[in-house]
Chain A
């Protein structure tokens, strides 16, 4: 996992860094085109009701402080041993972060810039009555229903759908440049963030995408989870930038590599994980 992620991160960062040397290398047309494409400055206006494309970010994330948890939230949080402290203590094996074994990140953690790939891109496509979002991180996709339906009132009860890793989402255009997506019904196993905070299947998570201009997108994510938190808060407030090359790298967390790394390298040798 680490070798692949390092290679991928280098490719991703190289695509973003203005280095004339790489541009002169004469890369093959298409696939992971190298060099920095010329972007018009200033960018043109935002097209109407259109977020299609590959966006890189989150950049300059400025979330609000996390509010106090409820007793239920605290109880779950206590059981979690995040990756960061475990690696600082040279004992990766003591972390129970599900992502160490490459379990799905789930929503909304998959929006964060994770250690594996520092730039998580996504792209919007469409199918009947839906928007579809594909992510570079873990190569997963989400489905957003745009047909005016209501979110499920409950999950995991008779007659209701089952909770799932990326939840159930509906979307609407608030105006020609702002798409609002509401999500609920997330499986409770994934963590909310790197520290291991919980989120419940009844949480309501709102994403607000505002296309500022042709090349800039702002995302605000609000968490409303009364089961685990005493009040709603802004969990993410960040920018995304259009990538003209519009290419993804394949970014997988491969369970066999992650498990082998954890069990054979990190734990016995006491290697500090950064």
Chain B
């Protein structure tokens, strides 16, 4: 079953991918502003040794057409506490048994931002990493959203309850990062708004969940991200959120793709069938 946004986006991305192939095969001149997945695919091998302490640049991820190794999804089934199971059961992810119109995934229904950590393994076709002296930015192509990782040695906030000095939960949480060695950048994040789903399948998380990302640059062309989530209120042990692989894009260009809320509303109203069941209805 196609996701609403993924359906629309896949349509747009499909059209762009197709136009890239046509341009490659026909007489249309090449534009430095376009992403040609065949060029990314042709960039084989490791490209040489990884630069030290440097993730800067634009990377191709899952479903980018660059021949990137498939991601490893979050572990399933998740090791939930009773409260975690209660919350998980409320989340109706679009899938084999849940049609688009029945899903309560806030992203599928409204095009709400994914939030972190879902935005690092859902629609992760490309990201760009840039740094300033005291922080690193992860710029995501999907929905054009950026994350901020402080590298100035500060501690993560711990107070997200009500009160004058409490921090507001946010969609991307609060992140700090450090280099564990010359090729491994470790990021810790907490304070993520519980309204977001941790995964496409609807794993819940509390505001106190702590997500650890390990970015490992294996060579000039290869970057691997592994994520775990530690959320004792909802999970009996730390949860493996999987592995995402990235390849360096030689042109450093990627196409835009995003979710447009008004388009999602139109799609749900005009095409999705509120009463439909899998395999039936107007689709």
> Which A residues are within 8 Å of any B CB, using their own CB?
7, 11, 25-32, 52, 98, 101-104, 123, 125-130, 132, 134, 139-141, 143, 149, 152, 158-162, 164-166, 168, 185, 246, 248, 250, 252, 254-256, 258-259
Asked if B33 contacts A250 (CB within 8 A), the reply is: no
Is the beta-carbon distance between A134 and B154 smaller than 8 angstroms?
A: no
Known A-B contacts A254-B112, A255-B112; the reply to A165 vs B256 at CB < 8 A is yes
- Within 1-51 of B, Cβ neighbours of A (below 8 Å) are at 16, 19, 22-23, 26, 28-34
- The 30 listed contacts between A and B (C-beta, < 8 Å) are A25-B165, A27-B165, A28-B165, A30-B157, A31-B167, A31-B174, A101-B261, A101-B265, A103-B260, A126-B56, A127-B57, A127-B129, A127-B252, A128-B56, A134-B139, A134-B148, A139-B172, A140-B145, A149-B32, A158-B26, A158-B28, A160-B31, A161-B34, A165-B256, A250-B168, A250-B170, A252-B113, A255-B112, A256-B112, A259-B261
Q: Select one of B23, B57, B262 contacting A128, CB under 8 A.
A: B57
In Å, the complex CA distance between A25 and B170 comes to 22
Does B65 count as interface, using CB distance less than 8 angstroms? no
Q: Of residues B19, B134, B146, B168, which shows the largest number of chain A Cβ atoms within 10 Å of its Cβ?
A: B146
A185 CA to B170 CA, complexed, in Å:
32
What chain A residues lie within 8 Å of B128 (beta carbons)?
Answer: 127, 132, 143
Q: Is the CB of B171 within 8 A of A152?
A: no
The 5 closest A-B CB pairs, nearest first, are A159-B28, A30-B154, A255-B261, A125-B130, A256-B110
CA distance A140 to B137 in the complex (A): 12
- B143-187 contacts to A, CB under 8 A, are 144-146, 148, 150, 152, 154-155, 157, 159, 164-165, 167-168, 170-172, 174
Complex: A126 Cα to B154 Cα, angstroms:
23
Give the shortest distance, in Å, between B195 (CB) and chain A (any CB).
8
A254 touches B113 (CB 8 A): yes
Q: Is the CB of A130 within 8 A of B252?
A: yes
Binding site for A on B (CB under 8 A): 16, 19, 22-23, 26, 28-34, 56-58, 106, 109-113, 128-132, 134, 137, 139, 144-146, 148, 150, 152, 154-155, 157, 159, 164-165, 167-168, 170-172, 174, 252, 255-256, 258, 260-262, 264-265
B265 touches A162 (CB 8 A): no
Contact, CB under 8 Å: B132 / A123: yes
Q: How far is the CA of A174 from the CA of B144 in the complex (A)?
A: 28
Contacting pair B255 A162 (CB below 8 A): yes
Contact partners of A141 in chain B: CB under 8 A: 137, 139, 144-146
What separation, in Å, do the CA atoms of A128 and B113 have in the docked complex? 28
Q: Which of A7, A27, A256 contacts B109 (CB 8 A)?
A: A256
Q: Chain A at the B interface: mostly helix, strand, loop or mixed?
A: loop
Please report the C-alpha to C-alpha distance between residue A246 and residue B148 in the assembled complex, in whole angstroms: 12
For B148, what are the chain A residues with a Cβ–Cβ distance below 8 Å?
134, 248
Return chain B residues, CB-CB under 8 Å to A255.
110-112, 261, 264
A127, closest chain B residue (CB): B130
Starting from the known contacts A127-B58, A254-B110, 8 additional A-B residue pairs (CB-CB under 8 Å) come to A29-B155, A52-B132, A103-B261, A159-B30, A185-B33, A250-B171, A255-B112, A256-B106
Q: How far is the CA of A254 from the CA of B256 in the complex (A)?
A: 20
Hey, which chain A residues are within 8 Å of B134, CB to CB?
246
- From known contacts A132-B137, A149-B32, A252-B171, infer whether A158 and B165 are also in contact, taking CB-CB under 8 Å: no
On chain B, the residues within 8 Å of A140 by CB distance are 144-146
Q: Are A152 and B31 in contact (CB under 8 A)?
A: yes
- Cα of A258 to Cα of B113 in the assembled complex, Å: 13
Q: Are B28 and A166 in contact (CB under 8 A)?
A: no
Docked complex Cα distance between A246 and B133 (Å): 12
Q: With a CB–CB cut-off of 8 A, which chain A residues contact B109?
A: 256
B252 near A129: Cβ-Cβ < 8 Å: yes
Residues of A within 8 A of B265 (CB): 101, 259
A191 to chain B, nearest CB (A): 13
Assess whether B16 is in contact with A159, with CB atoms less than 8 Å apart.
no
A127 touches B31 (CB 8 A): no
| Max chain B C-beta neighbours (<10 A), residue from A29, A168, A255 | A255
Q: Are B56's CB and A159's CB within 8 A? A: no
Cβ contact within 8 Å between A7 and B58: no
A133 to B: closest C-beta gap in Å: 10
